[in-house]
Amino acid sequence: MVLAVAATLGGFAGAQIATEMNNSSDDATVSTPDSMRPSSQPVLTAVPGLDVPPVVDVAGVVERISPSVVTVVASSRGNTGAGRSTGTGVVITSDGEILTNSHVVEGSDDVRVLFGDTIDPIPAVVLAADPGNDLALLKVDLDGLAPAVFADPGSITIGDEVVAVGFALDLDGGPTVTRGIVSALNRTIANSDGALDGLIQTDAAISSGNSGGPLLNANGEVIGINTAVFQSSFNTAANNVGFAISVGEALPVIETLRGLADGETRVEGYLGVGLEDRTDGGRGAVITDVGPDSPASRAGIEAGDIVVDVDGTPIDGQGALIAAIRDRSPGDTVAIDVLRGGSRLTLTATLVERPVN
C-alpha cells in the first residue's frame, strides 16, 4: 500500500518534508510589518455539545465554507530546477492567517494564494511550519476575510457524514467537492517525517491538490485538514482511504506555530530508541535498540521491551510511538508502559532535543 500526500507537485526535487522553513514571498522584507506577523485573533470554534445533523444540503455546506478556502501555490527556484506545488488552504482569521499542510510549501521560495473572487494571486509569508504534524501557518496582508469555524473535537464520531473541499488536481475554476463519511478515528500513518497520529479516516474522495483543504461536517465546520490518501500497490488494493488531521490535533499546533519566530520549526522531543512493529499480531511497538546516555537509557528502557502506552495513550505500533514522542517537546516527562518478560512496567523518561549527528 502506498501513501501519497494530497498535493499537486510540478517539478519539486524530492518529496521530503523540510526540516526547516525559511520561506517568504518576494514582497517580504527583513523588517516584517505588523500586518504580516502572527494574528492575535482566536480561532473560531463551535460551541461544544451541539448536535451535528446528517449532510442533507451539500450546496449549503459549500456556500458557508467557500469564502474561507483558497488555492495555495508554492514555487521553487532551487539548484535542482524550478518547481511548483499546488494545494489548498483554510482562512482562520479575518486579518489574513491561513492554515495549510507543511508539505504544500516545503522547500519553496515563493508562496501565493488565490481567493475565489480574485484574479491575481496574493503574496503570502510562511510564518512557521511543523513538518512533524504536517501543518504550516501562512499570512497575507489582507483584512476583512471570512474565517472558517472549527468543530468541537468531541462532536466527531464514526459514521458522521462529511464533505471534503479542495482544489483537486489544480483544475480550472472553483474547488472540487466530494462527500463521504468518517470511516475511522485516531488513525496513525507513517510518512517521510516519521508518522502522523490522531487522524480522521474518510471515504470522501481526496486527490492531489486537496492537501490543506477542509473536511467538513453538516454545519460547515472544519473537522480536519485533508493531508494524505492511500493508493493501491502491487500487493495491496486501496479504495477511498483518505486521511485528515483532526481538529483536536490541529488547534494546539496553530497556537504553537503562532509562538514561533517567522520560518522557525518546532523542536520535537527525542527518546533515543530503535523500533519495529510486533509480528505476533499483538499491540505495541518493539524496542530494537537503545541509544547510549539517551532519555530511554536513563529511564531503564531495554531492547526487547514492547511499548504499549505513553501517558495513557495506547500504542498500536511504531508509528504511534513515533508520533506520541514527536508531539512532545524537550524537557517534557512522559510515562511509558512496557511489557517485559510477562510483566507490565511503567517507566518515566525526560525527553531531550535530538542530538546533532
Outline where 165-262 has alpha helix (H): 247-259
> 10 Å Cβ neighbour count for 253?
23
Span 268-290, mean pLDDT?
A: 91
Q: Is the pLDDT of residue 9 over 50?
A: no
Is residue 38 scored above 70 in pLDDT?
A: yes
188 Cβ contact list (under 8 Å, min separation 6): 195, 196, 197, 198, 199, 316, 317, 319, 320, 323
pTM recorded for the entire structure? 0.77
Residue 98 has pLDDT above 90, yes or no: yes
CB 123 within 8 A of CB 25: yes
**67-81, 96-110, 153-167: lowest mean pLDDT where?**
67-81
Long-range contacts of 350-355 (CB under 8 A, 24+ apart): 350/295, 350/298, 350/299, 351/269, 351/270, 351/271, 351/295, 351/325, 352/269, 352/270, 352/294, 352/295, 353/267, 353/270, 354/267, 354/268, 354/270, 355/270
Give the CATH superfamily of 268-353.
Answer: PDZ domain (2.30.42.10)
Indicate the pLDDT class of residue 272, thresholds 50, 70 and 90.
very high
Q: What confidence tens digit (pLDDT) does each residue in 189-209 have?
A: 877 666 788 899 999 988 878
Predicted pLDDT of residue 7: 56
What is the sign of the dihedral through the CA atoms of 69, 74, 322 and 1? positive
Asked if residue 162 has pLDDT above 90, the reply is yes
pLDDT of 148 over the 50 cut: yes
Assess whether pLDDT exceeds 50 at residue 23.
no
User: What are the catalytic residues?
Assistant: 103, 134, 211
More confident: 86 or 117: 86
**pLDDT of 280-317, one tens digit each?**
889 999 999 999 999 999 999 999 999 999 999 899 88
- Mean pLDDT for the stretch of residues 97-104: 95
Pull the grid cell for residue 78. 532551487
The structural domains of the chain, with segments of one domain joined by +, span 1-266, 268-353
Report whether CATH 2.40.10.120 matches the domain 1-266.
Answer: yes
pLDDT value for 323: 83
Nearest to 22 by CA among 260, 335, 303: 260
Compute the residue count for the chain. 357
- What's the rounded Cα separation, in Å, for the pair 343 and 338? 8
pLDDT at 3 over 60: no
pLDDT of residue 13: 30
Distance CA(320)–CA(337), nearest Å, equals 14
Query: ∠ CA(247), CA(249), CA(253), 5° rounding?
Result: 105
Q: How confident is the model at residue 26 (pLDDT cuts 50, 70, 90)?
A: very low
pLDDT at 169: 73
The x, y and z cell numbers of residue 256, run together, are 504553537
